[in-house]
Every structure is written in C-alpha cells, then in structure tokens.
Amino acid sequence: MDKPVISVVVPLYCEQDNVPLLVEQTAAALAGLDYELILVDDGSEDATFERIEAATRSNPHVTGIQLRRNFGQTAAMSAGFEAARGEYIAYMDGDLQMDPADIPRLLERLQRDDLDLVNGWRKDRKDAGLSRKFPSRVANALIRLSTGVFLHDYGCPMKLMRAKVAKNLRLYGEQHRFLPALAALFGSRIGEEAVAHHPRRFGASKYGIGRTLRVLVDLLLVLFFQRFTDRPLQLFGPIGLVSFFSGVAIDLWLSVEKLAFGAELAGRPMLQFGSLLIVSGLLLFGIGLILEMQARTYYAAAGRQHYHIRRRIDAGKNKTAKP
C-alpha cells in the first residue's frame, strides 16, 4: 500500500469485544481518506490480538502490533507512532468511547489553522464522576497552571498531529497525557476541538483515581523537561549556591561567637545544620555540572539541536521573477 495520508494509532489492552467495531467504525469514518489503522496490543490476556489478526486479513488498511507484555499505554502509543507512515497521525483509545468520525474534522481544523496538534475536548463526558471526572479535573488544572498550555482536557484520548511532531516526542512512564505540553517544547502550534464521547459498551476501564499520584510525578518530570532539559545547571546551580553560602554564613557566625564570646558549640544543632547546608550545596552544584555536561554530550553525539525550525525560505525563492 502507498504511503497513507493519515495513520490512526490505537493502543489496546484486553479489548477483544471492541476490536471488530473499532475497525468497522474507522473504515466508515475515513472512507474518503487514504489511511492506515495501527492497532497495538499492549500484552492483552484475552483474545484481543486474535481479533486484530482477523482484522488485518479482512481489511488491508489495518496493521497489528503485539507487545511482548503489558508495557503501559505510553509505550504502546510510542510503538504505534514509530510504525506510522502517514503525514498526519491520529491517536485514540480502543474502548469505543471516542468516535473515529471526529478525525476528519480534527484534520480539517489542523490544516485550516496551520496547527501542529489538535487536542480533543470531551465537552460532554460520559464517565463516572468520582473515579474519572474528578481526578481528571484536578490533573487538568495542575497541568494548565504548571505548563502554561491552556487546554480543557489534557487526558482526552483523541488527538491529531503532524507526523514530524509525533515522531519527535520521547514518551516514558505515564506521559501520554502530557502530549500537548511536550509538543509545546518544540514550539508546536496547538488547538483544541470538541469531540463526541460515548459510554463504554464492553469491558471495564483500566484507569481510576489511583493514577493521580503518578500523574503528579510525571508532571514534575515534564516541568523539568520544559524548563531545564538543555540547561540543568540553571536549576541545580542557584539552589546549590544558596545552600552553600547559607551554610558558610551560619558556620562563620558560630565561629565568631566561639572565638569572641567563648560560646559552647558542641550542643548547638545550628553547627550541624550549617555543615549540612555546605555539603548539600556542593553536591547540588556538582549534580548540575554533571547534568550540564551530559546534556551537551547528548546533543553533540546524537546530532540533535536544542531548537526547532518551523520554516526556511532561501534567498530569492520567494521573489517574483522579472519579465
């Protein structure tokens, strides 16, 4: 099959009943587009991959990938992105709560407004309030305030982006919900579009309120990537210097008290505290230096740049030729 216009990546974990309907709905929604549907089985324990195999035999647009074990949604998504061949990549969950019919509308919005990523917004969400909606609202508020990328629904499992954006992302842990924030690191233009959301028909959700702490941990990691990935010394250096000079000031003052006034220092906790600040400051500054050298080595060895070019116009290429 020729290179498709759009690749649709769908991670699946124990969703055997959803696979046939998912393939059918996607085929109907994208009938007018040259597309490929990449179904990634994330180590399912049911017949999910058998259903995927059957779909690949009956539909030439379907590609199946089976991971050796359950690596998680982010890893399955990364495997799909790597295998995608389309100019645009759409991502959606395989639980049939998202509607493939929204994909052409997201693609139209991306092309019309010259965007790099369009994030879905489950404006009328059909989920349980306490276990799904409440932690999602909390996470969305934290991500908006922390990253400065203001979207209603970071966790919406319906996104469409240019392939060069998707393939440039390096996703780990539970970072799939931070796709817009990570894409913004490269200066991507991001939009938002309301999408349909349906109640789950088969199976049960694999996620709940217990994931909130993991979201917070990954948020801290994303914030580090956003601000200090190519200059870690600017994070650890100031903290280390403040700690070091605070400890020096404390110990100097205690030394003056001892020498000038004969104060007893053996039982004073401030002596240990000052020494701890000095050692901590040196360690933090040293960590910053090591990370700084590693960052520079990484960019040099990988041939990567810490900047990204959107467009380039060579001299004379945009000038009208004289008659």
Residue carrying the six token digits 């587009």: 33
Residue 200 lies in a domain: yes
> Could you give the CA distance from residue 25 to residue 30 in angstroms, rounded to a whole number?
9
Q: Do residue 237 and residue 106 come from a single domain?
A: no
Range of the domain at 266: 233-301
Q: Do 78 and 178 belong to one domain? A: yes
DSSP string, 154-197: TT-SEEEEEHHHHTT----TTGGGGHHHHHHTTT--EEEEE--B
Residues 263 and 216 in one domain: no
User: Per the domain annotation, does 315 fall within a domain?
Assistant: no
Boundary of a domain, candidates 228, 246, 267: 228
pLDDT per residue of the chain (323 residues) written in tens, 0 to 9: 578 999 999 999 989 999 999 999 999 999 989 999 999 999 998 999 999 999 999 999 999 999 999 888 888 999 999 999 999 999 999 888 899 999 999 999 999 999 999 999 888 877 665 556 666 777 777 777 777 788 888 878 899 999 998 888 877 766 777 788 888 877 789 999 999 988 887 766 655 455 656 667 667 767 676 677 767 888 888 899 999 999 999 989 888 888 887 777 777 888 889 899 999 999 999 998 898 888 777 666 766 555 566 667 777 665 544 44
Answer yes or no: do 221 and 135 share one domain: yes
Please indicate, yes or no, whether residues 192 and 239 belong to a single structural domain of this protein: no
Rounded Cα–Cα distance for residues 26 and 132 (Å): 26
Verdict on whether the full-model pTM lies above 0.85: no
Task: State whether 101 and 208 are in the same domain.
Answer: yes
**Backbone region of residue 192 per phi and psi (left: phi > 0; alpha: psi in -120 to 50; beta: other values):** beta
Q: For residue 77, give the CATH number of its domain.
A: 3.90.550.10
Residue 249 in any domain: the answer is yes
- The reply to whether 272 and 218 lie within a common domain is no
| Number of folded domains that form the chain | 2
- Tell me, yes or no, whether 265 lies in a domain: yes
Establish if 317 belongs to a structural domain: no
Q: 247 and 139, same structural domain?
A: no
Look at residue 255 and tell me if it is in a domain. Answer: yes
Asked, for residue 316, whether it belongs to a domain, the answer is no
Residues 64 and 107 reside in one and the same domain = yes
